[in-house]
Structure 1
Amino acid sequence: MARQRSGSASFDLSEISRHAIRPRQLHTFSVHYSAANRWVATINVSDRHADEVLGFPGRHTCFSFTFESEFEAKRFAKSYAPPRMVPVSSNDAFPCCFMCKVRFPRKSTGSSSRRFLFQNCRNCGVAVCRSCCVAWSQRMIPKTYLMNESPHSVRVCKSCDWLGNAFCIALLRGRLDDAKALHATGNVNLRSTYPDIRGEAMFPVHCAVIGGNLDILRWLVDTHGCPIRVERTSAVQQLNQQSQQQYKFVMTSNGRSVLDVALAGK
């Protein structure tokens, strides 16, 4: 089961009102049909606040991925379009933490400009103080959220941490209505792993199988396009449109597919 962090009394849906949640504001994305008879999902990342939020000059990055169907392309783009980081300007009179409302302390940058000490949640984008964020494995968020970085861990707000734990537990306990309500917040990742499910990293589709509720698995796969297998293509296959398509199953960290988890009964 998802590891409960100290200080989190409950991950029951009834506790959701206790958490300050701001739905993600996503970067733009588009889907089009290409001359190669493939659907292309394009995610545009342009953040003029990137220099202050992430520590490097603002830049424009474009990610493109190809799919067999329009449905797959659209669901992928929505899942992988990263959130916009909420800026904290030096001109703000009293910038404060989104969660606890404590004012951010100022820091000197070695020049005449002054900035504030804060963290942006890499899962939803809000600005929070150090006390209101926790560390996640970078595998718990989509790769496109990392902006071409390769950190071992990322900082997320405690509200997103609670949502992630609550959603995982809802899947493991087969609670479809709870899972839908938590996903409706806009800040739940359906295609990223949970790192410690009985010592094994699993995707939500694996957790749904453990929960034993096929309606949840159908909701993830049919409604939100969560794959249980993905297309495997090489550079040669991409050039040769007549090549036979090959697939690989979405695996847990122990190399188990959805079917393997179902057959094991746990």
Structure 2
Amino acid sequence: MEVKVGYASRFYRREVTHLNGDLLVNVAATPNNRRAGGMLAQEGKRWIVTLAGYFGDYPPTDEAGYLAFAKSLPIADVYEVIRTATPLSEPVAFKFPANQRRHYEKLSRFPEGFLVIGDAICSFTPIYGQGMTVAAMEALALRDCLNSGDDQLARRFFKQASKIVDIAWSIAAGNDLSLSEAKAPLPLSMRFINWYLGKLQIVAWFDPVVALAFMKVANLMKGPPSLLHPAIARRVLWRNLRSRKTPNSMESSTAPTLTRY
């Protein structure tokens, strides 16, 4: 699945006044906006800031260009911090052409004494930060398979790895498919999921319970079905229904592209 995403990351000194004490902000790309950005608090009083763009709209790595790209995001949070924050490194750029998944679990035969893991099974858009987590989860699955011996090891391992990849793929590929230049068809189920996630991200800006639920799924701590739990769905739908009655509330902002926690 072609995405042609490029991103540039940089460290900044973190002050207690930044983001009013929040620890992260994520501005996601949408079908109408190819650009994305985010900040995540790290140890040592640092921010790691990442700016990204899809389909060749890459962030520059020079000082002025980096700031201008941040300023162009539909949410001002990232720019307002880094325009005065102290840089601790130069921007480091990376480009990624396409998501790719290989279905080894569908093979009828596989060489004994040989396995693949991590990106060799599936490579995800790096800005989602899922690749190393998926590889670690696959390593745990391999450990469990080895505890039962090495008979039919490849078949058993690839079956378990496929279940792990399914979760991350539904998140990463689902969002990438929603972007206007992604050339893969969008199934009806995926259109519903993207619609619901759009509504959920609106509420995540205002509701810390929904924001935490979303971040747990994004970081593979829970599966996507947890976002449809009645306790979460009720908050999402109720907030969105209320917004229809107050035109100047959520729908009037660009909050659908933002998660902050």
Q: Normalized against structure 2, the TM-score is what?
A: 0.28
Q: Kindly indicate which of the two structures has a greater share of residues assigned to helix.
A: 2
Higher relative contact order (CA 8 A, sep 6+): 2
